[in-house]
Amino acid sequence: MLKSIKLLLLSAMTLSFSGCIFHSNPEINYYDINQIPTAVDAQKVPMAGAIQFKLIRNLTPVGNNFIYSGNDGRQFIDRHNLWIQSPELMIQRKIINSLPLTENNSVIFDISAVLYDFAINQDTRNCTAALKFEVKKISNSAGKGEVTELFFKATKQAEADNAASYVAAMAQIIDEITLNLQQQLTKF
């Protein structure tokens, strides 16, 4: 009787562990805000000078992970949905590809930026991004020029509580910030 109980327990353990061994890991998905169709390219505004865009500094904890927060202050990392690049690199690509080229090199806009916020609140489905740009308009060969700081923050609610909706909302936010930057550069 004792041998049959041991054999039964051993069989049950073997079956339960085999499920762990043969269970496949969940798929990892990579997302890029630049792959979402947007209207920014169609709205390019002619620029009054050439643009030099420096690397964006990222002051957020995001990295390549989706980081969700809740209204109660909790935060967690989604290990199955990742950004294809860190946010500052995706944003930089989006802005550089969206800004129109110009042949007027007598004026140069030297732009640097800091990413302060790139967040997803899962409780409200709100996505937020905040960037501060420092624009230096150089209109002489000495490299001296006036410096202007521009701060843009935008929030958009995702349509659903899933990664694809969060990515679409973030892409729309960066489009909005890019359009605002374009419009401000035309005023210099």
DSSP 149-168: EEEEEEEEE-SSSSHHHHHH
For the full predicted model, state whether its pTM sits above 0.85.
no
Helix (H, G, I), strand (E, B) or coil at 15: helix
58 pLDDT band, cuts 50/70/90, is very high
Please give the Cα distance from 171 to 163 (Å, whole number). 12
Report which secondary-structure segment, H or E, holds 145: strand 145-157
Residue extents of the structural domains in the chain? 27-186
Question: How long, in residues, is the chain?
Answer: 188
- Of 67 and 155, more confident: 155
Average pLDDT score, the chain: 82
Nearest to 91 by CA among 110, 108, 116, 126: 116
Q: What is residue 23's DSSP assignment?
A: P
pLDDT, one tens digit per residue, over 96-127 is 888 776 666 677 888 999 999 999 999 999 99
pLDDT at 31: 93
Compute the half-sphere exposure of residue 103: CA atoms within 13 Å on the CB side of its CA.
0
DSSP 106-117: SSEEEEEEEEEE
CATH superfamily label, 27-186: ABC-type transport auxiliary lipoprotein component (3.40.50.10610)
- Inter-residue contact 29 to 78 (CB < 8 Å): no
pLDDT, one tens digit per residue, over 64-85 is 888 888 888 888 888 899 999 9
